[in-house]
A = this chain, B = another copy of it.
């Protein structure tokens, strides 16, 4: 049975889980590499570490991924797909107000249980990507431009439904919201204040009205 990455983020990797779901060797290597890259660091993890922790042979891992950078690229694709789907799902719940959907997105983002060095998997991996890996860096850039686009549509909907002020610039408000979420995930982690993101978005809700 295929183990989706949603499972990986909701339930941190454990030997039991692997027994139960019987993922393929490729999935297993990806799962273990994701856990190690996020909790220990991409640059601090070697292919040998992944071999040891996943118990997948080196030959087998190199059959699927020709380098550590190739593995990082595949992890980034999975992360982007999972997060894009989760955010889309919430954004489309038109029975909720726009504010309620923002809250649901925040809750989803702060309840990912996987340990991350920087509070958010994208920040954690991006800041460790070599400058000479432009293709993977560009994937992250495109992901965030897409997220700003989704939030911009939500802001427009909020203005249209008179939830938000009529004179807001939807574009720059969306940039601001995405920046505050990313920065908030990082700050909440660095300042060890688990209520920071929720409190500051309570203030944003008041400002947008």
Contact = CB atoms under 8 A, between A and B. Distances in A.
Contacts of A204: 176
A139 to B, nearest CB: 10
Interface residues of A, number: 56
A84 interface: no
A172 B204 CA distance: 9
Contact of A144 (B128, B131, B175, B190): B190
A183 B151 CA distance: 15
A128 B127 contact: yes
Interface string A161-195: 00000011101110110111111101100111100
Interface of A: 39-44, 115, 117-118, 122-124, 126-131, 137, 140-141, 144-145, 148, 167-169, 171-173, 175-176, 178-184, 186-187, 190-193, 196-197, 199-204, 206-208
